[in-house]
Every structure is written in structure tokens, then in C-alpha cells.
Amino acid sequence: MHYLLSTFAAGWLIAPALVLGHSIGIRSGRATLCATNGRQVTHNDSNIWPWQTYQSSNITPPYLTINRTGEDLASGLLFIGQENDQSTGVKQVSPFILTDDNELVWGGPEGDSSNFRQQYWGDQSVITFWVGTGKAAYGADAGRGWGEVQIYDDQYNLIKSVCPQLNLTMPTDTTTDCDADVHESFITEDNTILVTAYNTTQADLTSLGGPKDGWVYDSIAVEIDLETNEPVFIWSPLAHLEINATHEEYSGSNQTDPFDWFHINSVQKWNDHYLINSRHLWRTYLVNRQGEIVWYIDGENGGTFGSLPNDVTFSWQHMARIRNVSSTQALISWFANDLDTATSTVPSKGLTLRLTLPPSPEHPPELVTNFYDHQYPVSSAAEGSFFPLPNGNTLMGYGDEPYIKEYGPSGDVRWSAQFAGYNLGQSYRAYKQEWHATPSTQPNLVVSKATTGDDLEQCAGKSSTLRGYVSWNGATDVEKYRVYAGSDANSLKLLGDIDKKGFETKFSIPKGIKAVEVAAIQAGNIIRKSEIVHV
């Protein structure tokens, strides 16, 4: 899109260059309707990344800086759970759905969220994210949280809150109503949801030079029945593993600040087994229903599977996922951070290995992908996602660094975006997914006087003195808006149809109109109408 740059005393603002809708003659050509994108992009605070604004909505999503090569991209919408990395950085902390050409689709409730994505609950397409009382990724409880997983239907109605009650022990002075942690919220085909949770407990730390009754986090994997809300599986690493296998440096602990030796950050169900990832052990475990470890893969030495491919290791990794499973092999992937400090410049990578099943050191893992941007590498000390796409591409979200990149099958960067300043914004994971929704709310309509020389004047002419602004937060399949107007609510007449132009469509209204109503058109049918706005 091309832009016209104007400077104001308060900062700067970018207005979209005019993209006209088709003109529609009204009553033998006495009036016309013209339309363009109503979005404005503003930046009047040097501490905050540029954001999008609208007349018909108070949502302020980030304005992505996008680079693309023109190579084929996967279809779908972007899901990010935008957060501040510090006290400032982004205009609005919320989950957002955006197109890959920078248009807002949906802005969710304000506040920290984690692992925002589309999933299926049975046959129902839903969106899910974690909200809670713990610090999702920064502050005193860095990397942990306590809260609930919210599930919304395709009308954006909250249809379920998963609020585990696990009788956990909290760190000193920490309270919560719900016990789900920020890291996982994976709905299974068995009408269950996988979550993580952090329990504070005492353990023997003498092997690390600590006390026999030291304090640790036991970060557990939990499967919850979505009908009964009861846990049906709980796995504790403390009950199965030695604490001194950790790579996290021990420097003391107490109940206020327990030692996080394992740090669970992803769980996936595979048949009747669970794939459980440990950031601090640099390992991913396969566990059966009885809690027994069937095998594990280690980022240093390969673990049960034998030596890793030459020059390939992984550490501090996130989002372990297994797929393409047969009786003899499977693919396993991670977002391999390969660092745990923001001062490191090691590039984070999207790693995929082909595993032989059952594990055999005689048939070690084979390298499939080791993606990173060679021209503009990103080093992410925490969080992150590696998400294969249906067309063979892969979307990588860089966690606590505000970047998202889509890679082609051979590892070429085809699309990249930045949504906040370096070290000033984050999204725990990023997804690109198909999502279709019709909100239960009405489209929002605002009507105001036209300003002299605005971007519709050339098309609309002097006879149009009003401008309409319409948006419908979350609508994915609206094609057009049908505009009705008159001297009052009882005399509304059809003015015509205008093509939808991004999240907000700005359109011209003829002189003398006193009441306006807009209807959203989808597949040729009226889906929902706005309220009647009196001018």
C-alpha cells in the first residue's frame, strides 16, 4: 500500500492513499458513494510502536512493519497475543487477529494473554488463550503464571473458562483463583485440554550444593476433562527425574523464589502418550498414561535416540511438537532458542528432526529443518513458536522479541513482520490459521462531517458533506456494506453497496441526510445491521 505522509505538532500520522470503491448513482446520478480504507497510523510517543486507529472503534492494534519477497505465502490469519516487554512498548496489550497485509480482523479484551490461537473443540472451531494473575513473561514471576484458559466460539462469545483447582502451593504472597500456567492450552481429540501448572514444594538440593529441604517449582503436565473440569492425568517431573540433570544455574532458593529446575513449556497428546518439553533440561520426554518415561531426546547428546546430526544441538527450547507419525518414524520440531540471556547473539532456529521409532542409537535422528534468517537473524532468550503451515511453509514467532517470519519449504524467508521495538514487545507464540467468524455484536457506524480536501472529496464531489465509518470487530467474511439513508429513521432508502476496505471502511454520504444505517453483506446476504445513526 502507498502512503501519504503528513506532519503534525503532536507527532506524525500516516494516512492510507485513496483506494476508491465503485461509484453508485443515487436517484439518476444526483449522488454517489465512494469508499476507502479508514485506517490511520499514528505515532506520537517515542516509547510506543506505531499503532492503527479508527473512527468507528477504539481498538489500537500495532502497525506491522512488513517485508515480503513475493513468493507464495500460506493462507490464513495471524494470531498474536501482544504484550509489553517493559512498562511501555506497545499501545494496547491484547490478543489480536491480523491479516498478513496489516489489516486488523479482531482485537480482544485488554490485558496479558498467552498462546492465543484457533483450535477445534470437537467439531467446533474456537479461539483460545490464557489469562491470569501471574506474570506471563516478565516481572517477579518471570516465565510463569496462574490463571485460566478462555474458550470463545465463532461469534466471540466466551463459552468456557478452564479454571483448574489443583490444590497447588503458591510462592509466598501469591494468590490465585485458577491454577493453569501460561505455557500450554492444547485441546485434544478426547474432549480434554492439556495445561501446565507450577507447584511450589520442597526438595533435596544437595546435589546442586543447596540444602536438603530447598524450595523448587515442580512444573507439572495436566490433562483436564472439558465436561467435568476434573484432571484425568497429572505428571510431576520431580517424581521421575533427578534435579541435577538441569542446566539452570542454582544460586539459592526459598518459598518466595523457588528454583525452577525443569521449566515445562509445552505438552502434546499423541495417541495415549504425552510429549512433554523441559526448557531447563534441554530435553523432550515421551510419557505414557502410567507416567513412565518411554523415551527422551536430549539437545546435547540425543538421549535415547543416539547422536544428533553433525553440528546440530538445541537448548532452552520451546514448543515441542511431533507429527507425521508412522510405526517406524516421526518428525519432531522445536523453536530452539539456544540461549537464555538477552545478551547472547546466537540466532534462534526452527529445528525439525526425523526420528526412528522405536528409538535406536543405530539409527540416529536426521536433520530436516534448521531455519533462521541468515540476513537478519533474531536471538530470542525466551518463548517462541515453530508452526508448520498447510502449504509447506512454516511460521516462526520469536517470543520475547517482536518478530514473526514465514519461511518457505527450503528455509527462505518469504515474509517478515515487526510489531514492537526491539526488547519492547512480545507474543509468547504466533500462529497463522484459518478462522471464520460472524460476531454476535452489531457493526459499528460513525458519521461525521467531511473535512475540506479529504481523501474522498475528489470522488464524492462537493455535494457530499458527510462521511461514514463502519467496522465490525472480528468479522472475517464480510464482502460489502449496504448503506441506507434518509431524513429520519422511518424514511431510510437504499443508497447502494460499497466494498469492504480493510477493518474500517470510510464512505461518502450525500448532503441533506439525517439518518444512516449500514448492513453487512456476506455471500450476497445481509448478515447484521448497525444501529441507525442520526446526524
Contact 108, 157 (CB under 8 A): no
Band of pLDDT at residue 32, cut at 50, 70 and 90: low
Partners of 449 in beta bridges: 466
520 domain residue, yes or no: yes
Average pLDDT over residues 94-110: 97
Query: What was the pLDDT predicted at 18?
Result: 41
Which pTM was predicted? 0.93
C-alpha pair distances (Å), 63 with each of 7, 13, 406: 18, 12, 18
Say whether pLDDT at 187 is over 70.
yes
Q: What's the confidence (pLDDT) of residue 134? A: 55
Q: Which domain holds residue 487?
A: 3-41+440-534
Average pLDDT over residues 250-261: 94
Phi, psi of 205 (to 5 degrees): -110, 20
State how far the Cα of 82 lies from the Cα of 94, in Å rounded to an integer: 6
Residue 509 placed within a domain: yes
Separation CA 528–CA 472 (nearest Å): 10
**Residues sharing a CB contact under 8 Å with residue 405, sequence separation 6 or more, in sequence order:** 373, 378, 395, 396, 398, 413, 415, 416, 417
Are 379 and 346 in contact by the 8 Å Cβ rule? The answer is yes
Q: Is residue 219 scored above 50 in pLDDT?
A: yes
- What local confidence, expressed as pLDDT, does residue 2 receive? 33
Residue 114 lies in a domain: no
pLDDT of residue 30: 38
Q: What is the DSSP string of 64-92?
A: -EEEE-SS----SEEEEE-EESSSSS-S-
Residues 6 or more apart whose CB falls under 8 angstroms from that of 374 comprise none
Per-residue pLDDT reduced to its tens digit, 294-305? 999 999 999 999
Q: What is the mean pLDDT of residues 77-96?
A: 89
pLDDT at 208 over 50: yes
Confidence band for 88, pLDDT divided at 50, 70 and 90: confident
Go through the chain and tell me how many residues it has: 535
Per-residue pLDDT tens over the stretch 404-461: 999 999 999 999 999 999 989 999 999 999 999 999 999 999 999 999 889 999 998 8
Tens digits of residue pLDDT in 111-136: 989 999 999 999 999 999 999 865 44
What CATH number does residue 495 fall under?
2.60.40.10
Q: Which three cell numbers stand for residue 419?
A: 510489531
Checking phi first, is residue 411 left (phi over 0); if not, alpha (psi -120 to 50) or beta? left
pLDDT at 15: 40
Helix (H/G/I), strand (E/B), else coil: 304? helix
Nearest to 460 by CA among 131, 1, 152, 30: 30
Which of 315, 312, 355, 364 lies closest to 335 in space, CA to CA?
Answer: 315
Is the pLDDT at 497 greater than 70? The verdict is yes
Residue at 449 is within a domain: yes
User: Of the ranges 18-22, 40-44, 159-163, which one carries the lowest mean pLDDT score?
Assistant: 18-22
Sheet holding 293-298, edge to edge: 264-270, 273-278, 283-287, 293-298
pLDDT at 105 over 50: yes
- Where is 386: in which H helix or E strand? strand 385-388
Q: How many domains does the chain have?
A: 1
Q: What is the mean pLDDT of residues 337-362?
A: 94
Closest by alpha carbon to 224, among 171, 285, 172, 161?
161
Average pLDDT over residues 41-49: 90
Q: Is 484 helix (H, G, I), strand (E, B) or coil?
A: strand
| Average pLDDT of the residues of the chain | 91
In a domain, 489, yes or no: yes
Model pLDDT, residue 85: 72
